[in-house]
Amino acid sequence: MTVLLEKFNTPFETVPFDKINQNDFLPALKEAIKISKNEIDNITQNTQKATFENTIIALEKSGALVERISGILFNLNSCETNPELQKITREASPLLSEYGNDIMLNKQLFEHVKAVFEDKETNKNLDIESQSLLTKSYKSFSRNGANLNENDQEKLRQIDKELSEKTLQFSENILNETNAYSLEIPENEVVMLAGLPDYVLEMAQATATEKGKKGYVFTLHQPSYLPFMTYAENRDLRKKMFLASASKAFQNNENDNQENVKSIVALRHKRANLLGYATHADFVLEERMAGTPQKVQTFLNELLQHAKPVAEKQMQELTKYAKNQGFTEDFLQRWDFSFYSEKLKKEKYQIDDEALKPYFQLENVVLGVFEVAKKLYGLSFVENKEIAVYHGDVKAYEVLDEQNKHIAVFYADFFPREGKKGGAWMTSFREQSGEIRPLVSIVCNFTKPTPTKPSLLTFDEVTTLFHEFGHALHGMLANGKYQSTSGTNVYWDFVELPSQILENWCYEKECLDIFAKHYQTNEPISQDFIQKITDSANFMEGYATMRQLSFGLLDMAWYGKVAQIDNVATFEREISAPTDLFPAIEGTNMSCAFAHIFSGGYSAGYYSYKWAEVLDADAFEYFKEKGIFNRQIADLFKENVLSKGSSEHPMVLYKRFRGQEPSPKALLKRSGLL
């Protein structure tokens, strides 16, 4: 029998990655689905009166093996994949979709759940978290077709099957496109790479060696792409790299995502209509703090009114600066922005990423964020080499509280590789419920160490690490009775609060003093540098806000307005026009590589980043008033936000922490948009 179906005989029942054969995934998954269906049969065939215990709790406990195996498979497919594993995942996806529908469209099961839900007298005696689980269980059925007739249920099954295939293909196409492109510069033409710092050149040489080439190789992975766009003086090469990145999955080749975009949008719209909703956005937002597409649109437009004048003024300043530097065209192009904004930032604040990076050695930043968690929540992180990992770059830590009680296992995976998606995210290999403690992971794509330098982070990468670690804390400090209402299983526009609030600590001297030390001299970062970081925090914030709003508005347009699109590029250009700060570039497209909303979980939800910024700015103002390491405020945040999951409505929890509803003024003030 495969290890995937056994109880894991490992420290804290962690995943035995070293014993898993990827060919076992499909057989194990099929067996797990069979076991889960028997668990469901036990509920539906029970002749006793349906109760919270024999129905809702039994349902909550069912399918644990399916969840475990599919979780391992899909996590590995994101961070350590290969063609065979991709093929296995493609086969597993429709199986899981069908399995999910077999449960959600099970008439007898729904009747049991509905009977418990409608037993108002008995339910009065349930505690608040159990009531939340009951409501969530009932809604998961009603929102997934349980009230439909058999004919419409069959239509729903087909839609979900197609969606699972299309979204997976969308994601694979982006990874294929990212891996397919490289810019190769021969050794004797290094003059073409003027402006690039030594570490970037050294990394490009290491990449060339890995690929069996000579000279310098640059890729579309973020640690290679971003510094190239920021420092390369050769404008033609910047343009070349930009066009390669901005045309990913939009090149009319085998990895083109245009038809996938149209299919995913149409299928989600059709699904929403089938369930009685006007649009996919109406369906999604029913279960969000925002509530309706109209409220999201109003929220984004209000921010747009504040951000647009500031952004336009900033772009005028940047264009004027570029012309003083010898730029001769009327307009800056997108491949000019990072280059000139970095120069202007350096001139205005006497600061740049290159000057700061020596103070942000990855290992020190990791120890720093651990220390922040200790000061705020009393946590300790102890590396445990007995815990198996899925790649040599990954480290595993045991997480302990102040009484040395086991809280979680934390995996850290920081470097890019060919089998790994771009970007940064937090995930779980097991979620918390009752006495079961979580296995939490953060995955990033930071610059690898070179033969002469350790991994040194840009300040943006420091905030990224803190951001993902904030999500991890939400998972690790979860303390719910039920998995479905625990940890990060909260409204999508609330889930970014724990991550975004932690970024604020990166700008505070009291925090930077903990870990920002020069990697060669161990000299602490100077007060002068800290002041410059603080002073430059809002640099180009109008532009950055406009960029986020453009993504949010594009997302709402795809899912809140239309059912069918003839031309992906034309539609995107029309929607993006009010937020565009640059001329449109033929042959480029955002939607075809917009994984968040087409293959991630953010469809009709991208606005939540800005929504959560309102929450985090307001919440951090409270910490600032009382002290950023004030344990009393940290305990309030832990008890009412981090540990509570979705046991109660997020606004109730937020007000219990803060004592008031959040005000957008804190964000506008912090961003310099007021």
Band the pLDDT of 83: cuts 50, 70, 90.
very high
CA pseudo-torsion sign 622, 627, 628, 633: negative
The residue-averaged pLDDT of 525-551 equals: 93
pLDDT at 492: 87
Is 141's pLDDT higher than 90? yes
The residue-averaged pLDDT of 470-486 equals: 98
User: Do 201 and 271 belong to one domain?
Assistant: no
User: Do 289 and 379 belong to one domain?
Assistant: no
Is 69's pLDDT higher than 80? yes
- Between helices 650-658 and 608-626, what is the axis angle to 10°? 20
- Please count the other Cβ atoms lying within 10 Å of the Cβ belonging to residue 71: 17
- Percentage of the residues of the chain whose pLDDT score is greater than 90: 92
User: Do 323 and 386 belong to one domain?
Assistant: no
CA dist., res. 549 & res. 551, Å (int): 5
| H or E element that contains 613 | helix 608-626
Cβ atoms 12, 437 nearer than 8 A: yes
Residue 558 belongs to some domain of the structure? yes
User: Do 187 and 277 belong to one domain?
Assistant: no
pLDDT at 624: 95
- pLDDT tens string 210-244: 999 999 999 999 999 999 999 999 999 999 999 99
Band the pLDDT of 561: cuts 50, 70, 90.
confident
- Percentage of the residues of the chain whose pLDDT score is greater than 70: 100
pLDDT at 121: 84
Residue 210 belongs to some domain of the structure? yes
User: Do 194 and 233 belong to one domain?
Assistant: yes
CA dist., res. 341 & res. 68, Å (int): 46
Please classify residue 564 by burial: count the beta carbons closer than 10 Å to its beta carbon, then call 0-12 exposed, 13-18 middle and 19+ buried.
exposed
pLDDT at 563: 59
Residue 633 belongs to some domain of the structure? yes
- Please count the other Cβ atoms lying within 10 Å of the Cβ belonging to residue 331: 12
Final residue in a domain of this structure, among 147, 167, 194:
147
CA pseudo-torsion sign 117, 121, 127, 128: positive
Weakest mean pLDDT among 268-272, 362-366, 659-663: 659-663
- Please count the other Cβ atoms lying within 10 Å of the Cβ belonging to residue 349: 16
Residue 66's domain is classified under what CATH number? 1.20.1050.40
Residue 202 belongs to some domain of the structure? yes
Is 672's pLDDT higher than 70? yes
Q: Which residues contact 198 (CB under 8 A, 6 or more apart)?
A: none
User: Do 407 and 549 belong to one domain?
Assistant: no
Residue 173 belongs to some domain of the structure? no
Residue 366's domain is classified under what CATH number? 1.10.1370.40
User: Do 493 and 553 belong to one domain?
Assistant: no
User: Do 392 and 524 belong to one domain?
Assistant: yes
Is 287's pLDDT higher than 90? yes
Is 133's pLDDT higher than 80? yes
* Overall domain count for the chain: 4
DSSP codes, 396-430: EEEEE-TT--EEEEEEEE----TTS-SS-EEEEEE
Q: 215 is in which domain, residue-wise?
A: 181-246
Establish whether 162 is a catalytic residue: no
The residue-averaged pLDDT of 315-319 equals: 97
CA dist., res. 429 & res. 536, Å (int): 38
- In whole angstroms, how far apart are CA 269 and each of 281, 539, 553, 555? 9, 39, 17, 13
Is 191's pLDDT higher than 70? yes
User: Do 528 and 662 belong to one domain?
Assistant: yes
Is 573's pLDDT higher than 70? yes
Residue 165 belongs to some domain of the structure? no
For the record, the structure tokens of 512 come out as 């930077």
Is 15's pLDDT higher than 90? yes
Residue 281 belongs to some domain of the structure? yes
Residue 155 belongs to some domain of the structure? no
With vertex at residue 181, the alpha carbon angle to CA 176 and CA 182, rounded to the nearest 5 degrees, is 140
Whole-number mean pLDDT of the chain?
95
Could you give phi then psi for residue 604, rounded to 5 degrees? 55, 25
- pLDDT tens string 252-283: 999 999 999 999 999 999 999 999 999 999 99
Band the pLDDT of 397: cuts 50, 70, 90.
very high
- Please count the other Cβ atoms lying within 10 Å of the Cβ belonging to residue 216: 25
User: Do 413 and 474 belong to one domain?
Assistant: yes
Answer with the residue of higher pLDDT: 467 or 1. Answer: 467
Final residue in a domain of this structure, among 147, 163, 194:
147
Q: Which listed residue (60, 342, 468, 572) is catalytic?
A: 468
Bridge partners (DSSP) of residue 398 are 382, 409
pLDDT at 138: 96
CA dist., res. 422 & res. 629, Å (int): 33
For the record, the structure tokens of 114 come out as 């509905």
Cβ atoms 255, 217 nearer than 8 A: no
Q: Is 388 left (phi over 0), alpha (psi -120 to 50) or beta?
A: beta
Q: Look at strands 216-219 and 182-185 and give their pairing.
A: antiparallel
Residue 574's domain is classified under what CATH number? 1.10.1370.10
User: Do 341 and 376 belong to one domain?
Assistant: no
Final residue in a domain of this structure, among 563, 586, 604:
604
- pLDDT tens string 32-58: 999 999 999 999 999 999 999 999 999
User: Do 138 and 114 belong to one domain?
Assistant: yes
Is 491's pLDDT higher than 70? yes
